[in-house]
């Protein structure tokens, strides 16, 4: 009798463990609570790059979980803007704002999955911006037309991964030289030789008040700017031909930057300060910043997984992710929230942002900022991959296109009978259950949450 009771208790405990959603999915649910159904992330009237950061996180969770609701959310929110003729509501090409290219990554995803021509036309429209976008004398993209002659680290994330994916999909082989040069020129013009860190921005003209008259660099090392740049590297490399002569240069840049930020990681919390390597007046105001810490975790974890970085660097990501979960993730009123993201930090403009430490410290730090949430989702789905990697190592997986087609899953749902009928997650969930039951119990439990069980 005692054995039976013990077995039942253990089974209940295992089921409870299986039903505990990963942190990525908990925070993704917060996104769905705040921006419901087809309502775009961040607002209904603005083609904002913030949305693209969050939805790239959704893409990663979809890939990890097989739960089609994340793909559905991407499509609904992007369809708010992408019209049937391929035009994009709220987008103005002539603004030449590199930020506006970022969402193109999701447009390409939708085209690749659905084959709908409207997504191809929208992607072509964004690609056409890059064809005529203003550039520095070297050839680097200006951050915006209203910020002439300036390259910002942020801009590499906004433009380069989309540019690289488009070039890969549509055979623009010569574009990869241009893409690689964007990173190379940015590092050359922004890197501090002493620390290895990158300044937030560079002004070719040296006309901006924030620009050093000798180097053109902004004064300080803003963490999120380096986070954007490091994430751009690991994402753009996904699409680079393996034999491209400048591919290794990008991997080398990533390694130099990770070595530099490793020295800036707080040894106690595993986190990074908003302004790195600052020792001047008011340094006590500096704070650990959530979005940058998440960005670094993502870039390092993905860099290790893809073989760009040494395996030893994974410890940095683990310590960073643990610190993020402890310091910034809070469950409040049944909702999992991300605290600690600075709302914005920029240079120039009106009112003028001078790049001083006091300026950076004056910007508000908020809860559930889309940039922070997106960075957290990216970091989470990378970190959540690692326990499962050993299971597939050395194995060959054969995929059946018909059986794995989302379209055919929908057809089967309408024809099926029994407890799994009408469940979008049912078929992929059942496949996972069968596979992992043959391997190891922990992995089986991890995936059981995606298997709809009879009520």
Question: Catalytic residue numbers?
Answer: 154
Q: Environment class of residue 113 by beta-carbon count within 10 Å: exposed (0-12), middle (13-18) or buried (19+)?
A: middle
Nearest by Cα to 370 from 107, 56, 53, 69: 53
Rounded to whole angstroms, the Cα distance separating 48 from 404 reads: 32
**Dihedral sign computed on CA atoms, order 441, 447, 451, 455:** positive
DSSP 129-174: HHHH--B-SSSPBPSBTTBTTEEEHHHHHHHHHHHHHHHHHTT-TT
Rounded to whole angstroms, the Cα distance separating 384 from 108 reads: 25
Encoding tokens for residue 261? 């930020």
| Residue 151: other Cβ atoms inside 10 A | 26
2-19 vs 441-448: helix crossing angle, rounded to 10: 60
User: In 3-state terms, what secondary structure has residue 198?
Assistant: strand
DSSP 66-101: --HHHHHHHHHHHHTTB-TTS-BTT--GGG-BGGGG
Encoding tokens for residue 164? 């690289």
In whole angstroms, how far apart are CA 45 and each of 40, 41, 51, 80, 97?
Answer: 9, 10, 12, 9, 16
Q: Environment class of residue 92 by beta-carbon count within 10 Å: exposed (0-12), middle (13-18) or buried (19+)?
A: exposed
Tracing tokens 């690609």 back to the chain, one arrives at: 127
């Amino acid at each position: 009798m005692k054995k039976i009771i013990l077995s039942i208790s253990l089974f209940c405990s295992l089921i409870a463990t299986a039903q505990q959603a990963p942190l990525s999915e908990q925070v993704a649910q917060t996104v769905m609570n705040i921006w419901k159904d087809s309502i775009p992330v961040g607002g209904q009237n603005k083609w904002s790059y913030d949305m693209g950061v969050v939805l790239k996180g959704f893409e990663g969770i979809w890939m990890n979980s097989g739960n089609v609701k994340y793909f559905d959310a991407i499509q609904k929110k992007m369809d708010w803007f992408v019209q049937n003729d391929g035009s994009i509501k709220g987008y103005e090409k002539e603004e030449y704002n590199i930020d506006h290219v970022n969402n193109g990554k999701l447009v390409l995803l939708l085209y690749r999955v659905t084959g709908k021509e409207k997504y191809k036309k929208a992607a072509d429209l964004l690609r056409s911006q890059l064809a005529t976008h203003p550039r520095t004398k070297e050839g680097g993209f200006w951050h915006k037309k209203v910020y002439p002659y300036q390259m910002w680290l942020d801009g590499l994330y906004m433009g380069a991964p989309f540019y690289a994916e488009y070039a890969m999909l549509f055979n623009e082989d010569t574009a990869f030289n241009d893409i690689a040069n964007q990173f190379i020129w940015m590092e050359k013009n922004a890197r501090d030789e002493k620390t290895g860190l990158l300044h937030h921005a560079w002004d070719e003209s040296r006309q901006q008040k924030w620009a050093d008259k000798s180097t053109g660099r902004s004064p300080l090392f803003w963490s999120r700017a380096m986070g954007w740049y490091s994430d751009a590297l690991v994402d753009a490399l996904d699409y680079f031909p393996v034999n491209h002569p400048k591919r290794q240069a990008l991997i080398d840049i990533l390694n130099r930057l990770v070595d530099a930020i490793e020295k800036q990681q707080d040894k106690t919390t595993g986190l990074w300060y908003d302004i790195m390597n600052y020792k001047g007046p008011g340094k006590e105001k500096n704070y650990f910043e959530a979005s940058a810490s998440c960005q670094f975790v993502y870039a390092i974890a993905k860099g290790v997984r893809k073989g760009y970085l040494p395996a030893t660097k994974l410890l940095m990501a683990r310590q960073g992710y643990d610190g993020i979960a402890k310091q910034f993730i809070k469950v409040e009123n049944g909702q999992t929230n991300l605290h600690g993201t600075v709302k914005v930090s920029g240079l120039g403009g009106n009112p003028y942002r001078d790049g001083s430490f006091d300026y950076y410290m004056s910007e508000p730090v908020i809860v559930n900022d889309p940039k922070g949430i997106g960075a957290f989702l990216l970091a989470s789905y990378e970190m959540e991959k690692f326990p499962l990697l050993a299971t597939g190592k050395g194995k060959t997986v054969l995929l059946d296109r018909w059986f794995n087609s989302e379209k055919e899953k929908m057809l089967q749902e309408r024809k099926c009978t029994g407890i799994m009928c009408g469940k979008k997650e049912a078929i992929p969930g059942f496949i996972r259950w069968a596979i992992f039951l043959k391997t190891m119990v922990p992995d089986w439990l991890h995936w059981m949450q995606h298997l709809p069980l009879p009520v």
